[in-house]
Structure 1
Amino acid sequence: MKTTHQSKSSDLAAYSVFLAVAHQRSFRAAAAELDLTPSAISHSIKALEQRLGIRLFNRTTRSMALTDPGERLLAKLRPAMAAIEDAVLEIEDHRGTPSGTVRINASEGAIRLVLKPMLARFLREHPQVHLDIVSDGRLSDIVGDGFDAGIRLAEAVAQDMVAVSVLDQVRFAALASPAYLAARGRPQVPQDLHQHDCIRFRFESGAIYRWEFERHGAVERINVAGPLTLTDQPLMVDAAIDGIGIAFVSDHLAAEALREGRLERVLEDWCPPSPGLCLYYPGHRHVSSGLRALIDALVEQRPRLSAWVGAPA
C-alpha cells in the first residue's frame, strides 16, 4: 500500500506530464519537452485518468483536446506548479552563481537584433545557465506557455508585466531597389502604395501585416497588395533588392544594402522611430538568478546596440 507521501509524489510527476501534454496537445511533443518517450507520456496520462476516475483529454488519431474537467484541472494546476517552481528557484538562487534554464520567447527579429550579439559572451561568463530561446511571431502568453520572459516591441507589452528596455527605439522603413523605382516611380504618400507592387508580411497566426505610417500626428494604415507574401523579414529585404517590389521592414536589416546603394528609402518622412524593444516578465513570479543575469547583460548592451541601430545608413 502506498503511503500518502508516495502517492502525492507520484501525482506531482503525473501533473507535470499533464501540463506538458495540455500545452503541446501532443504526446510526441510533450515527450520531447520532458525528454521522455511518447509511450511513457501516454501511460502517465492514462494512469492519472484512472486514479482521478475521469477523462482529461479527448483523443483521436489526428487531434487532442482537453475535456471540460481537463480544462478546470489545467486552470488550477498552472498557478500551483508555478508557485512550486518559484520556491525551488528561490532556494537555488542561494548558491550565488547564476544557473538553471531560462526560457525566452521572442520574434525572430528580436532574437537576431538583441540576443544574437551577446549570446556567446553571456554563455561563456555564465556556464551554469542554459538559454532555451523560442522564435515566435505571435504574441504568446508567456505565463501560460511556460516561458520565463519574452522580448517584444514596447507598445505590445501588457501593462501587468514588468518591462525592461533593451533597445531604445526601432524604426521601420519602406525600401525598394533603384531599378524598381526607375521603372515604377516613387510613392509620395502612403496611399500611393496601392499603385505599387509590395512585398507583404504574414504573421504566424496567418494575419497579413498592415503597413503603418505616421507624420505630424497623422497615422495611415495601408493594406498593401503585391506578388509576394513572406514570413521572414530578411527574405523580404532580398526580394526588394531583386526588384520584386517595395518592402516594409525593420531598417537595421537593410543597413548594408542601403549603404551599398542596392536599396533606397521611400516615404522616409512617414517612417519615424517608435518605442523600442523590451524584455518582459510577470511581476508576481520570482526572477531566477539566470534570468537576472540575462537582464543585466541586456541592459549593459543597450547603449551600444541603440547607437548602432540609430546610426544612419
Structure 2
Amino acid sequence: MQFRRSDFADLSYFLEIAKHRNFRRAGLELGISASALSHALKGLEERLGVRLLNRTSRSVTLTAAGEALQSAILEPFDEIGRAVDVLNRFRDAPIGRVRLSVPTEAADYLVAPVLATFLERYPDVEIEISVSNRMIDVIDSGYDAGIRYGGTVPEDMVAQRLSADIRWLVVAAPAYLQRFGTPTHPNDLQAHRCVQIRTGDDRIYRWEFERGDEQLAVNVPGALTIDQGQVALPAVKQGAGLMYLAEPMVRQALEDGTLCTVLDDWVSVGPAFHIYYSSRRQLPSALRLFIDLVRELRPLGL
C-alpha cells in the first residue's frame, strides 16, 4: 500500500474513535460530524484492506487489527503532539486546549473563581470543563486531567495539590435544631434526620469524625440521598435536616446565620483538592498554565 499524506488525518481520526469508542463523541472532540468520521474511517479500512472497527447500532469495538494499529501508532502520534506543544514556548501568546473533569465543589469554589482571569490572560487557549461527581477514567474518557480530593486520585497518575486541606462540617438550620435538638456526639445522629451522600463510586458515604485520637465513621439515617451537595442545601436551610459537607460550600451561610454547625469538636479535616494527569504524557502547555494560575490565585488556600 502506498501511504498518502491524507492517511495521517485518517489515522488521527481512527485514534480518536478508538479512544472514545463512539463516533459522536470523537466527532465532538475533533470538530467534525460523526458521518464524516465514519466515511473517513471506511475509506481508511478500504485502503488498508482490513477492518479496524466492529460497528453496531449500540457499540464500537476494535478488531484485532484495530488493536494492533492503535498500539503501533499511539505513541508516535503522542510524540508529534508533544513536539507541536513545545512550539508554544516560542509564541508571544500561548495556544492550546485543555479538557478537565471536575467534581461539583471544585467547580464552584476552585475552578470558577479563576476562569475570568485565565481567559483574559490566555485568550487563545480553549478550556472545556465537565462537572460530575462520578469517578471516571479521565484519560480513557478524553480529558487532559481531572480534579478530585487527594484520597481519591488514582495511584498511577501524577498529582499536584491545588488547595489547602478541606474541613468537613455538620450543619443545620437554627429552626431544625430548635425543633429536634442538637447532637453532642456522632452517635446521636441516629436519632436525627440526615442528608445521605452517594459518592462517585456509587457508595453511600459514612460521615467521618475525629477528636484527638478518636476516629468514627457513622452510617446516618435519612430520607434524602444526593450526589451533589448543592441540590440539598436549600432544603437544609429550610430545616429539612442535618448535612455533612465541605466548609467552602457553607462559608457564606455560616457567616449570615442561615446555617450553624454542630459537633464542632468532632470536625474532620480531609485531603485537599488535587489535579491529576497521566504520568505517561508530557504536560500540555495549556494545562500547565491552568495549574499555575490556580496555585497563584489560591481560591481555596494552598
The bucket for the TM-score relative to the shorter chain is 0.7 to 0.9
Amino acid at match of 1:240: V
Equivalent position of 1:305 in the other structure: 300
The CA deviation at 1:150 is: 2.4
Q: Deviations over 1:208-263 (max 9, x none)?
A: 33322222233322333311122221122222112222111112111222222221
Partner SS, residue 237 of structure 1:
helix
CA distance in 2 between counterparts of 1:66 and 1:196 reads 52
Q: Partners in 2 of 1:198 and 1:73 — Cα distance?
A: 53
Establish whether residue 137 from structure 1 lines up as the match of residue 133 from structure 2: yes
Shift of the 127–73 alpha-carbon distance from structure 1 to 2, 3 Å rule, reads same
- The 5-angstrom pairing of residues 186-201 of structure 1 reads 186-201=182-197
Distance 1:241 1:66 in 2: 51
1:125 Cα deviation from its structure 2 partner = 1.4
Counterpart residue type for residue 270 of structure 1: W
Q: 1:42 to 1:187 in 2, by over 3 A?
A: same
How many residue pairs align between the two structures? 302
The one-letter code of the counterpart of 2:301 is S
1:250-269 matches, within 5 Å, as: 250-269=246-265
Matches within 5 A, 1:136-215: 136-215=132-211
Name the residue aligned to 1:45. Answer: 41
What letter matches 2:150 in structure 1? A
The SS at the match of 1:245 is coil
Give the counterpart of 1:22 among 15, 18, 21: 18
| Residue 242 of structure 1 pairs with residue 238 of structure 2 | yes
- Unaligned ranges ≥5, structure 1: 308-313
**Any idea what SS the aligned residue of 2:165 has?**
strand
CA RMSD of aligned residues (A): 2.7
Identity of aligned residues (%): 38
In structure 1, C-alpha distance between the alignment counterparts of 2:162 and 2:202, rounded to whole Å = 28
Distance in 1 (alpha carbons) for counterparts of 2:295 and 2:217: 33
Deviation at 1:152, TM superposition (A): 1.9
Q: Distance in 1 between matches of 2:106 and 2:15?
A: 28
The letter for the 1-side match of 2:82 is: D
Structure 2 unpaired stretches of 5+: none
How far residue 182 of structure 1 moved from its aligned partner, in angstroms, is 2.3
Instruction: Give the match's secondary structure for 2:148.
Output: strand
The 1:189–1:20 alpha-carbon spacing in structure 2 relative to 1, beyond 3 Å, is farther
